[in-house]
Amino acid sequence: MNLPYFLGCPSWNDAAWRGALYAPGLPASGFLASYCSAFNTVEGNTTLYAWPSVQKIERWAAVMPAEFRFCAKLPREISQAPDLRDVGELIIAFRTLLEPLGTRVTPFWLQLPGSFGPARLEELTELIDTLNRPIAVEVRHPAFFAKGEEERALNRMLHERGVERICMDTRALFSCQSRDPAVVHAQSKKPRLPVRPTAFSDAPQLRFVGHPALEANDPFLAPWLGKVAQWIEAGKRPHVYLHTPDNRLAPELAMRFHEQLCERLPGLPQLAVAPMQSESQLSLLETAR
């Protein structure tokens, strides 16, 4: 898929996508190949919670196309360590584990907890230098969003190293007033912080957590459509990851984003999505209303 940007979802192994992204009878073993035929990147949530086995990495490497991007999240043992300067050996071990994926692991993602504040900036600098690979960082401490010297120090450090500050946008999620358990759970887990549309390299990173009703996301997507189009026209190759509260509709939201981006950038290739999905998308949209 020859897109000028990377577009994907938080994972590929969701059985609820049968009949939408995947054929109804597709076994789970076929999900990754089918996912890679539609999208060219995935947010590697799986590695945040558990180290994959060597055999699993080898299976992924055999299926993922060379141009595919697997944004592997550094495991919690690293990102949530009391001192990031103590995890050098873990970083090297994790980097070595993923070596069969080659350049498909670009960038690594570091998702820091809300407790990680400005006083620990030196730790973050050392971790970035130890990893010595393309990396993107997500911060959640309020001081990094206060437009003060602490935020400027973070941005300077990242910019000097060409490290992306992941753009997290949860405004659509928190605009939802539903008491549906999936929405309530997502709102309890996701940060509610100001949006920072930064681009410190040629690969800016966007995580958009959406409303369960697909059309309700359009006003929140509109500024990002303009920004992503601007980045592409400037020669950058952004990464865009679409979430919904339980991610059942994440593929549909990603498709919606791409359809609307095509209106901004005529000539963009269409996604290679099976024809059966058109009816499924309409059904899922009605369910979400």
**Torsion angle defined by CA atoms of residues 109, 173, 217 and 2, in that order, rounded to the nearest 10 degrees:** 10
Q: CB within 8 A of 62, min separation 6: which ones?
A: none
pLDDT in tens, 8-41: 999 999 999 998 899 999 999 999 999 999 999 9
In 3D space, the residue among 1, 2, 5, 3 whose CA is nearest the CA of residue 239 turns out to be 5
| Omega before 107 within 30 of 0, i.e. cis | yes
Mean pLDDT of 75-93: 95
pLDDT in tens, 206-264: 999 999 999 999 999 999 999 999 999 999 999 999 999 999 999 999 999 999 999 99
- The C-alpha atoms of residue 74 and residue 244 are separated, in whole angstroms, by 22
pLDDT for position 1: 65
In 3D space, the residue among 31, 52, 43 whose CA is nearest the CA of residue 6 turns out to be 43
pLDDT band at 289 (very low <50, low <70, confident <90, very high): very low
Phi, psi of 274 (to 5 degrees): -60, 145
- The C-alpha atoms of residue 210 and residue 87 are separated, in whole angstroms, by 34
Q: Express as a percent the part of the chain with pLDDT over 70.
A: 94
Mean pLDDT, rounded, of the chain: 93
Question: Could you identify the residue written with the tokens 């206060």?
Answer: 146
Two tokens, residue 240:
């865009």
pTM, two decimals, is 0.92
